[in-house]
């Protein structure tokens, strides 16, 4: 089971593609309206397609339990806050012993350091910087 915390652009897209790929998917977000992102562009609603959705705050243990963290094999921390993601990812890893924890971190420096500590971090900012650098190099060479 894949648990996605944060149904923003990144979280909702990853949740939808995971569901389409045949995984059981549960999404947790504090904003009930974020559910609309999960339905957008789909023929059937998120729940009708087999998805789960829970309204709750990421770092509340009760919310994580309601969203099914105890059964999660993959945990994805994709809220808009780096600090929330880094904390909730460590809760998933150290308290609930989720096998695979993947964290979205925008700050490159902390993405690197937490990766050294054993978290699987994904830093879109770092990827973006590298693409810009390559684009400039391609133009000037």
Partner 1 sequence: MYVIVVGGGKVGLNLARELIRNGQEVTLIEGERRAYLRIEQELEHAIQYGDGTELWVLERAGIQRADLVVAVTGDDEDNILICQVAKEKYLCERIIARCNNPRNLQHFKLLGVQPAVSATDLILNLIEHEVPGHGLVHLLDLPDEKLEIIEVEVTDGAPAAGRAVCDIDLPDGSLIISVLPSGRAGFVPKGDTVINPGDEVLVVLDPGLEPHITAQFAPNGRVG
94 sits near partner 1 (criterion: CB under 8 A): yes
In the region spanning residues 28 to 87, those forming contacts with partner 1, defined by CB under 8 A, are 59-61, 81-84, 86-87
Please give the helix or strand (H or E) that residue 48 lies within, else none. none
Q: Which of 97, 117, 140, 141 binds partner 1 (CB under 8 A)?
A: 117
Query: Is-contact 101 92, C-beta < 8 A?
Result: yes
Q: Distance (Å, rounded) from C-alpha 67 to C-alpha 16?
A: 16
Whichever of 95 and 100 has its CB closer to partner 1, that residue is 95
Q: Residue 5 forms beta bridges with which residues?
A: 28, 77
Q: Distance (Å, rounded) from C-alpha 120 to C-alpha 116?
A: 9
124 sits near partner 1 (criterion: CB under 8 A): no
Of the candidate spans 25-33, 34-42, 107-115, 131-139, the one that interacts with partner 1 by CB under 8 A turns out to be 107-115
Write down the residue that tokens 């569901």 correspond to: 19
Q: Which residues bind partner 1 (CB under 8 A)?
A: 59-61, 81-84, 86-87, 90-91, 94-95, 107, 109-110, 113, 117
């Amino acid at each position: 089971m894949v648990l996605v915390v944060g149904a923003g652009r990144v979280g909702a897209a990853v949740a939808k593609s995971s569901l389409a790929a045949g995984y059981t998917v549960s999404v947790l977000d504090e904003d009930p309206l974020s559910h609309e992102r999960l339905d957008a562009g789909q023929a059937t609603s998120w729940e009708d397609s087999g998805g789960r959705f829970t309204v709750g705050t990421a770092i509340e243990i009760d919310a994580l339990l309601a969203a099914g963290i105890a059964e999660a094999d993959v945990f994805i921390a994709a809220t808009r806050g780096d600090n929330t993601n880094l904390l909730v990812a460590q809760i998933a890893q150290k308290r609930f012993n989720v096998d695979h924890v993947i964290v979205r971190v925008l700050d490159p420096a902390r993405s690197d350091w937490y990766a050294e500590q054993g978290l699987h971090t994904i830093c879109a900012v770092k990827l973006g910087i590298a693409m810009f650098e390559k684009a400039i190099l391609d133009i000037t060479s």
